[in-house]
């Protein structure tokens, strides 16, 4: 897998969250994503953008 594209499982490992929470963040568009076939993918820069946004709001 391309290091710049992350699966939901990758996001879970990166953030230390469960799949339900990851899917909720994607569904509510807090983390931008796209689909290729059945697979949901997130660009690493979009995950980093989400993390920065969360850290700046604390």
CATH of the domain at 45: 1.10.10
Q: Considering only the C-alpha atoms of the chain, give the largest distance between any 2 of them, rounded to a whole number of Å.
A: 36
Phi–psi pair at 48, nearest 5 degrees: -65, -35
The pLDDT assigned to 47 comes to: 98
Whether residue 7 is predicted with pLDDT greater than 90 in this model: the reply is: yes
The burial class, CB within 10 Å (0-12 / 13-18 / 19+), for 11 is buried
Domain total for the chain? Answer: 1
The pLDDT value recorded for residue 1 is 64
**Which tens digits make up the pLDDT trace of 20-56?**
999 999 999 999 999 999 999 999 999 999 999 999 9
Q: What is the pLDDT of residue 3?
A: 86
State the residue range of the domain holding 26. 5-56
pTM over 0.75: yes
pLDDT at 18 > cutoff 90: yes
């Amino acid at each position: 897998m391309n290091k710049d594209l992350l699966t939901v499982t990758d996001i879970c490992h990166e953030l230390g969250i469960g799949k339900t929470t990851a899917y909720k963040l994607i569904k509510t568009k807090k983390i931008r994503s796209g689909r290729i076939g059945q697979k949901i993918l997130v660009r690493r820069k979009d995950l980093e953008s989400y993390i920065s946004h969360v850290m700046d709001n604390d």
